[in-house]
Amino acid sequence: MNNYILELLQKALAKFELEQVPTIQLESPKVAEHGDWSTNLAMLLAKPLRQNPRAIAQQLIDAMDVDESILEAVEIAGPGFINFRFSKEHVIQELLSIIEQGNQYGKTEERKGQKLQIEFVSANPTGPLTVGHGRNAVLGDTIARLLEWTGAEVHREYYFNDAGRQMRVLGQSVQARYMEALGLSHEFPEGGYEGEYIKDIASGIIKEHADSWSKESWEPFKRVAQEAIFEDISGTLERMNIHMDSYFNEFDLYENGDIDKVLEALKAKDLVYESEGATWFRTTTFGKEKDTVLVKSSGEPTYRLPDIAYHANKLERGYDECVDIFGADHIATYPDVLSALKALGYDEERIRVIVYQFVTLVKDGQPFKMSTRKANFVTLDELMDEVGSDVTRFFFLMRSPNTHLEFDIGQAKEAGEKNPVFYLQYAHARIHSILRKAVESYGVLSDQLDAQTLSPLVHDRELGLMKTLFKFPRAIAGAAEASEPHRLINYLNDVATDFTSFYHDCRILGVDPSLGTARVVLAQQTARVLANGLEILGIQAPEQM
């Protein structure tokens, strides 16, 4: 609906022949009496035109060719706001449009033709997914869903860190537990993984190979551990309704020579040098205070080197945009990768990095600390056992990625409307309960719905609910553009709240059949918007609770 207003304003603005055209901003007024949409465009033009904003607002209105069947009022308010109010006739037509689009309602084509890749989770296969990985997983999957609803082709990828020191330590940790279980002396590695799952993997090896591996190196232990942990990770993601399109192995970058190619290319540009037995990247060239180690004196690369090679690989695959979901601990590292890619001639602007803040799991009012090494962590499976997968997903999405998230298990376990995810699911189930009863009163709705069928919808609550439903595509597009799924949650809360107000003031059952039927249609479309929104969030929309 706002597209029509934007077009009116753009045409009116063109008549001023400005050198610099301001961006047109539309807002939905908080007070219904102020209309459906409002713009401050006249006030933005006051300085360049050197005129009173209200006078400019009147000129803009005079330049508009308003279709009265769409807008019933265009008014000047306050210091120069222009308020727009849609006609009832247009509101009814918009509701018919929702009905026509059905389960596709909310989808747009803003990103049609774009091929995007989103890399997320990418947890090292050194242990099960923990609460600390959960926000990454759910954010990545939901942002991918939002982008798909705006028309993009999205490819989900998990970067599998199966090389480097942490994998060696994993193999050595399992080897040590294997030897220990056999009663043989073996030193546990410094910084080794101490979780119970390490002992379980070692026990599995004993069950299959007995003591025949007692003379083996750590490498076969690493391989078995990696396979076992990856199977566990895959199961956890499946349980969270997350499905990856591909897994990219870090080890392949070593096997195919990409790591060496990157290093040589950086050397050729004099961006790499040797010092103290290590290989350094001249990050001071790009504004950092100190240079950065790419290869340690032990000969093992730091994360930055394979990350540069991996991102070069992604860009070479032809994606229009590559999206990375990183925790706050990557703030200092990812700029080095972008700097290296730019220096190597890649378009680093095609990489978008989303950094999220960490999660504190609160139990009995106290933060619960996690560490995959010391094994006092809470796994995502344990969390889902406690509160369910829907609640787990929802709570990870409730806040902006830019803010610290406190995951309150007490609130998450609430089974009533105080639990924010149940509030939305209950609203959806409640509507379906009403609709089941409505069939008894009015029969099954005809497929031939028209404006005449919906004409009884004149109450302020009815019109207000309809106008809220019409904002759904915009809510999706806005959440996708900002990479902030919580915006969609806020919108769905508005839908549920407006339906409650509508249902309180506008009876559906026990009224004139023509009015009751029209209200049933409105309730149906409200349920559809809630269901579509919950689908994007990766959460079930139950019809009974």
- Of 37, 152, 146, nearest in space to 477 by CA: 146
Reduced 3-state DSSP string for 418-443: CCHHHHHHHHHHHHHHHHHHHHHHHC
Distance, in Å, from the CA atom of 539 to the CA atom of 396, rounded to the nearest integer, reads 12
Which pair of tokens denotes residue 1? 């609906």
Tell me the per-residue pLDDT of 96-120, one tens digit each, with 9 for 90 and over: 999 999 999 999 999 999 999 999 9
Tokens of 519: 């209200």
Distance CA 503, CA 433 (A): 13
- Total H helices, total E strands in the chain: 21, 15
543 vs 424, 431, 435, 531, CA distance in Å?
12, 8, 10, 10
**CA 45 to CA 26: how far, in whole Å?**
15
**Owner of token pair 């730091």:** 302
What integer pLDDT is reported at residue 17 of this predicted model?
80
Question: Are the CB atoms for 38 and 82 separated by under 8 Å?
Answer: yes
Instruction: Report the range of poorest mean pLDDT among 133-142, 155-164, 222-231, 474-483.
Output: 155-164
Task: Determine how β-strand 246-249 pairs with β-strand 153-160.
Answer: parallel
Q: How confident is the model at residue 44 (pLDDT cuts 50, 70, 90)?
A: very high
Instruction: Give burial (CB, 10 Å; 0-12/13-18/19+) of 228.
Output: middle
Residue 442: what pLDDT? 86
In whole angstroms, give the CA distance from residue 298 to residue 222: 20
Q: What percent of the chain has pLDDT over 70?
A: 98
| 3-class DSSP state of 387 | helix
pLDDT digits (tens, 9 = 90+) for 194-207: 888 999 999 999 99
pTM above 0.85? yes
Who's near 102: CB < 8 A, 6+ residues apart?
A: 528
pLDDT attached to residue 545: 85
Beta-strand pair 405-408/359-363: parallel
Could you tell me which residues come within 8 angstroms of residue 530 by beta carbon, excluding any fewer than 6 positions away?
Answer: 424, 427, 428, 431, 492, 495, 496, 541
- Using the predicted structure, report yes or no on whether residue 448 has a pLDDT greater than 80: no
Rounded-to-integer distance, Cα 226 and Cα 241, Å: 23
- Three-point CA angle 239, 242, 243, nearest 5°: 115
Nearest Cα to Cα of residue 292 among 279, 300, 281, 306 = 281
Residue 78 in 3-state DSSP? Answer: coil
pLDDT tens readout for residues 83-101: 999 999 999 999 999 999 9
Own/partner pairs for 382-387, CB < 8 Å, 24+ apart? 383/131, 383/134, 383/407, 384/239, 384/240, 386/412, 386/413, 387/412, 387/413
Alpha helices in 150-244 (DSSP H): 165-181, 196-209, 219-239
Mean pLDDT over 309-334 rounds to 95
CATH architecture of structural domain 92-111+417-536: Orthogonal Bundle (1.10)
Task: Place 374 in a pLDDT band, splitting at 50, 70 and 90.
Answer: low
Tokens of 36: 């459906």
Chain centroid to Cα 472, Å, comes to 16
Segments making up each domain of the chain, as ranges:
2-86, 92-111+417-536, 115-160+244-356
> Right CATH number for 2-86 from 3.30.1360.70, 3.40.50.720, 1.10.3720.10, 2.40.30.170?
3.30.1360.70
pLDDT, position 318: 95
pLDDT at 371 over 90: no
| Band of pLDDT at residue 418, cut at 50, 70 and 90 | confident
What CATH number is given for 115-160+244-356 in this structure?
3.40.50.620
pLDDT of residue 365: 79
Q: How far apart are CA 489 and CA 397, in angstroms?
A: 8
Q: What pLDDT is attached to residue 376?
A: 64
CB count in 10 Å sphere of residue 106: 23
